Amino acid sequence: MIHFTKLHGNGNDFILIDEFRKEIIPENKKSAFAVKYCDRRFGIGADGVLYLEVSDKANIGMKIFNADGTEAEMCGNGIRCLVKYALDKGYIKEAARVETLAGVLSITSRVADGTWITVNMGMPEFAREKLPAKGTGEFIQVRMHGYEVSAVNTGVPHAVIFVDSLDDTLLDDALKIRRDHVFPKGTNVNFARVDSKNEITVRTYERGVEGETLSCGTGSVACVAVARRLGKTGDRVRVNTKGGELVITIKDDAAFMEGQVERVFEGTI
């Protein structure tokens, strides 16, 4: 029997497997496990599987496999779910460090019940190696597939597009951008509407899930980073997603993501 915990951050939901004491799912089966059990009709149902591991570099380690079996470098909502679980289990204190494929990230919990988690996401990276018709440089407002697209890496690659209306037809175009050759590893695609200098609304098509998720933490950071670079917002921005609210603060040396996490249920398979 395998014990699991289901958690979500703003509706971005995950199956968590606790491997802090010992390996539960062999490394060569982690991908297949995610494909099988993320299925919402024949499995538990989730956007991805989190594996909580020991780390030589930090207090805990995280691996994440998407619903399609691909391994992601990092996930903003996922890391908050992992931290919530680790706090509840007593593996970490309110301030800790988490090792991911995107590096070691610092986290804090600022609510007594541990449901509001803040993650230091590091500084978003704008530099790109190749640009269509521009050579090298920053990928900011490049015209492609009928949109002005900006690209930024917040642990994973993101494309950001600012629009006036967030209607459902946008998602039809997301796949073209997600698989464009200019992104050799593919990209997540975010459509953002600026509501004010301190508030935006975002819809995200996630690579690996291959569809829209209710929230994307790294995508929210990406949208605020680009909006701030273009002078559309300030340094602290509330991001509205279908699943709830995130607060993104960008300082000189780092971006901080704050949001709530909930444990949904536990079970065995």
Q: How far apart are CA 218 and CA 197, in angstroms?
A: 20
pTM here?
A: 0.91
Evaluated on CA atoms 204, 243, 97, 21, the torsion sign reads negative
* pLDDT for the residue numbered 248: 97
Q: 51-62: buried (b, 16+ CB within 10 Å) or exposed (e) per residue?
A: bbbebeebbbbb
In angstroms, the CA 190 to CA 202 distance is 7
Which residues, given as ranges, of the chain have pLDDT below 70?
A: 111-114, 128-137
Report phi then psi at 225, rounded to 5. Answer: -60, -45
Q: Tally Cβ neighbours within 10 Å of residue 29.
A: 10
- Which helix (H) or strand (E) element contains residue 218? helix 217-229
Q: What is the reported pLDDT for 109?
A: 84
**pLDDT one-digit tens code per residue, 76-116:** 999 999 999 999 999 999 899 999 999 999 998 876 566 88
Domains of the chain: 3-122+259-268 (3.10.310.10), 127-253 (3.10.310.10)
**Per-residue model confidence (pLDDT) at position 131:** 56
User: Which residues belong to the active site?
Assistant: 75, 216
193-226 tens-digit pLDDT: 999 999 999 999 999 999 999 999 999 999 999 9
Distance CA 256, CA 266 (A): 29
How far is CA 72 from each of CA 49, 51, 69, 185, 188, rounded to the nearest angstrom?
A: 10, 12, 9, 11, 11
